[in-house]
């Protein structure tokens, strides 16, 4: 039983290394900027398509560049992507057909010109009955040679995304759509206030026609000049709409506050005060997690998990990761509060030290301390290499302490003999351990 528990700790340690390798690959690969672009499209339109080729990187398509078909459960059945490309990137036989068609239409066929009109390239990805994906590309109703192929079920590089799923619909709904009324009202009120501010800033002087003040004298007067006239004869035209503008401005403030909370701006999440406790921040984060639970679920299953699987496939082909058995080991996405701060090694070390300090001495007789510490550190996502001493190192240090204690308590002659006996015993134990290890 102890051997099985020790093997489990070693397996968890190896899986933790794979996790850190994938996270490092995400940091060094060029997918953060396209992923951010995809998330912005999801918030605005609710849909986006991600393509991750074998040579790395990520490309994002807008909803007007592809169509997707799903079954009633939301599983993708077919994807068709339309791209506009230059004919020079096509194979020779396709280029010849494009030139012939262009010439028949009476257009120029010199494709070295950068202003030449591009052609449409279509990519079709279909899910078969066996669960695999068939892919092919065509241009001008001709299949492009070398583009026909298949992918395994969980290795398809084409990943259609949704912000929120709707029953019996092939596409998702964006976050903006839920607050479309507030956004339109805010835009109309902002436009009205802006136009009113422009009118309020317009300066126009009115002069009493029956007064003694002459308009031309006011117009020609310089700063500090003295002219004849009465102040009552001259007034400024004012826009008496302050009360109406105040109502509009207060409405704008209320709408902006609601939208700030909806789009998780920091000023709406954290209260405006000098001292905000950590418990308040945790409570607000928990409330946000509860309200965005559905978004976490769909993004983790349709975006993060396929991206991680695709990265693992690429790393396996590049010999950066070992081939893992899919029926035993599968990646899992951690979202919400559990995923916050996973990269903060200092907090992990502090928490790990607190676990060691709170360990009950009474339980040492029933607990394998080394395996317990290894599991605790692995569960925190820590790199345990060199952090925990091995059993051989602990045994060697204990023998050294025993030797020092016996040398202090014994006479010089006896201490020398005792030291020799302890050293011989330690060497015998080490040789027996090495022989047992080689026998296994």
For 136-170, the DSSP string reads EEEETTEEPTT--EEE-TT--SEEEEESS--TT-S
Calpha distance 217→238 (Å, rounded): 22
Average pLDDT over residues 101-127: 69
Prediction pTM value? 0.62
Average pLDDT of the chain to the nearest whole number: 77
Torsion sign over Cα 176, 177, 182, 183: positive
Rounded to 10°, the helix 2-28/369-379 angle is 30
Give the pLDDT band of residue 114 (cuts 50, 70, 90). Answer: very low
Best CA proximity match to 201, nearest among 236, 233, 252: 236
Average pLDDT over residues 186-210: 90
**Which tens digit of pLDDT belongs to each residue from 385-409?**
667 777 777 788 888 888 887 777 7
Question: Please, are residues 124 and 78 in contact by the beta-carbon 8 Å criterion?
Answer: yes
Question: Which one has a higher pLDDT value, 323 or 45?
Answer: 45
Beta strands 119-127 and 142-143, pairing class? unpaired
Torsion sign over Cα 238, 243, 245, 249: positive
**Residue 172 carries which DSSP code?**
-
**Which tens digit of pLDDT belongs to each residue from 201-237?**
888 888 988 888 888 888 888 988 888 888 888 988 8
Does residue 264 have a pLDDT over 60? Answer: yes
User: What percentage of the chain carries pLDDT values higher than 70?
Assistant: 68
Average pLDDT over residues 403-426: 63
Counted residue by residue, the chain has a size of 440
Helix (H/G/I), strand (E/B), else coil: 256: helix
């Amino acid at each position: 039983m102890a051997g099985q528990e020790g093997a489990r700790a070693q397996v968890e340690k190896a899986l933790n290394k794979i996790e850190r390798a994938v996270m490092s690959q995400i940091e060094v690969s060029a997918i953060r900027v396209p992923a951010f672009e995809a998330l912005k499209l999801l918030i605005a339109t609710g849909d986006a398509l991600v393509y991750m080729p074998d040579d790395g990187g990520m490309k994002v398509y807008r909803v007007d560049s592809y169509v997707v078909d799903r079954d009633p459960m939301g599983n993708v059945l077919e994807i068709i992507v339309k791209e506009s490309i230059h004919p020079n990137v096509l194979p020779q036989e396709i280029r010849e057909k494009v030139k012939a068609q262009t010439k028949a239409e009476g257009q120029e066929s010199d494709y070295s010109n950068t202003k030449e009109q591009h052609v449409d390239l279509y990519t079709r990805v279909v899910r078969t009955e066996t669960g695999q994906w068939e892919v092919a590309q065509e241009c001008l109703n001709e299949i492009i040679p070398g583009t026909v192929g298949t992918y395994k079920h969980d290795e398809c590089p084409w990943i259609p995304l949704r912000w929120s799923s709707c029953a019996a619909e092939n596409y998702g709904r964006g976050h903006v759509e839920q607050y479309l009324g507030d956004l339109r009202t805010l835009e109309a009120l902002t436009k009205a206030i802006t136009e009113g501010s422009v009118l309020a800033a317009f300066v126009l002087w009115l002069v009493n026609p029956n007064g003694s003040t002459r308009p031309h004298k006011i117009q020609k007067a310089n700063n500090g000049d003295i002219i004849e006239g009465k102040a009552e004869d001259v007034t400024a035209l004012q826009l008496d709409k302050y009360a109406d503008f105040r109502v509009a401005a207060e409405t704008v403030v209320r709408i902006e506050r609601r939208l700030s909370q909806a789009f998780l701006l920091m000023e709406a999440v954290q209260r405006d005060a000098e001292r905000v406790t950590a418990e308040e921040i945790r409570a607000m984060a928990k409330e946000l997690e509860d309200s965005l639970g559905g978004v976490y679920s769909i993004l983790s299953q349709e975006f993060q998990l396929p991206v991680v699987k695709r990265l693992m496939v690429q790393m396996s082909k590049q010999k950066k990761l070992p081939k893992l058995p899919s029926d035993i080991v599968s990646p899992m996405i951690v979202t919400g509060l559990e995923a916050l701060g996973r990269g903060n090694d200092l907090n992990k070390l502090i928490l790990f030290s607190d676990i060691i300090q709170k360990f009950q001495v009474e339980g040492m007789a029933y607990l394998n301390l080394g395996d317990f510490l290894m599991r605790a550190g692995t569960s925190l996502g820590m790199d345990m290499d060199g952090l925990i001493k091995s059993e051989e190192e602990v045994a060697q240090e204990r023998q050294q302490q025993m030797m020092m204690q016996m040398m202090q308590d014994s006479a010089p002659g006896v201490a020398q003999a005792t030291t020799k006996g302890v050293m011989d015993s330690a060497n015998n134990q080490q040789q027996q351990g090495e022989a047992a290890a080689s026998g296994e």
